[in-house]
Amino acid sequence: MSKTLELRFSSSEGKANTLVVQDPKPDLDALTVQNAMNQLVQQNLFERNGMDQHAAIKGARYVERITTDVFEITE
């Protein structure tokens, strides 16, 4: 089972954007994650064609995924 942390933002145009963190700490609280996301918003690091891709915070969530192979061909 793999676990990721999805940091969900909206762009300056109102479009949804997500940053995915692989293998995050499992016990992050809302305040810690929100503070980190606020820092990303304030830095304006993600700009494309003059638009801020992460202008506002929408939320964050852990996502767990279970992968079960049915078969795999190896050469």
pLDDT level of residue 1 (50, 70, 90 thresholds): confident
Does residue 74 lie within any of the structural domains? Answer: no
Residue 50 lies in a domain: yes
* 52 within some domain: yes
Q: What is the pLDDT of residues 28-56, one digit of tens each?
A: 999 999 999 999 989 888 877 777 888 89
Q: Are 17 and 38 in contact (CB under 8 A)?
A: no
Query: Which range marks the domain in which residue 58 is found?
Result: 2-65
Q: How many domains are contained in the chain?
A: 1
The reply to whether 23 falls in a domain is yes
Q: Which pLDDT score is estimated for 52?
A: 80
Residue 72 lies in a domain: no
Residue 16 CA: distances (Å) to CA of 11, 20, 34, 41, 65: 6, 13, 17, 14, 22
Instruction: Please indicate, yes or no, if residue 70 is contained in any of the structural domains.
Output: no
